[in-house]
Structures are given as structure tokens and as C-alpha cells.
Copies of this chain bind each other. A is one copy, B any other.
């Protein structure tokens, strides 16, 4: 039975950026980024934290849409949702650039709205490829 994951259009940049804002989850994402194609099974993270805590943190990452978790017998395979996150990032860059009339002080960032109609997405440009 598959686990609940947010649809691609339900993934928001704040949630995606907030999810790794914890040392354990950051380490998990770091490991996964090195083998994005095949992912990893839960057992491979046991040196990071306890089994129980791992369950907790992987749920956080799954619920944020950062990873997908797929049962494989008694194991579960975890992968970064690269395609969805790339799409989110790309979509965001597109809109951020469009809205990118930067004025000193209070730019109304509410004008930055994703095309998909998802919740307001706020950028951390320094982590993303900047507009040319």
C-alpha cells in the first residue's frame, strides 16, 4: 500500500526549504542527493539516528514533498523527488524573474504567485540560480 505524498502542485517552496532545516533531515537529504537515481533504504540511515526517529524525520520529508517513500517488502526506499523539486524550482525562478522589479524597501512580494496557483512561494535567491 503506497504512502500518502503531496501532489506536485501541493509542494510549496517554504515547506521544501524548511524541511531540511534540521541537522538530521539535512544529513538525510545530503545522502540522498548523492544517489538520487536509486535512492536509499531506511536501513542505510541507521547510523544517523534511531529507527524510531528516522521514521519521524522521513515522514517530515515525505509530507513536505522533498522525498518519495516506496515500500519494498519489509523495506522502504527513499528517493528525492528530483523532478518535482526541479519543476518547483524552475516554476519559481520563472515567476520570480517576471515579478523581479526590485525597489528599495517594501516590494510587495504578494505579487509573486506561482502559475499553478499553489500557495505563495518565497525565494531564497542565493540558493537558486539568479536571473540573468
A residues near B (Cβ < 8 Å) are 14, 17-23, 26-27, 29-31, 33-38, 40, 44, 80, 82, 85-86, 89, 100, 102-107, 109, 122-129
Contacts and interface: CB of A to CB of B under 8 A. Distances in A.
Listed residue (A21, A86, A109, A126) with the most chain B CB atoms within 10 angstroms of its CB:
A126
B89 A126 contact: yes
A105 B18 CA distance: 25
A21 B19 CA distance: 7
A40 B106 CA distance: 8
Copy number of this protein in the oligomer?
2
A109 to B, nearest CB: 6
* 8 residue pairs, one from A and one from B, having the closest CB atoms: A21-B21, A30-B122, A33-B125, A38-B104, A34-B107, A127-B127, A85-B126, A18-B21
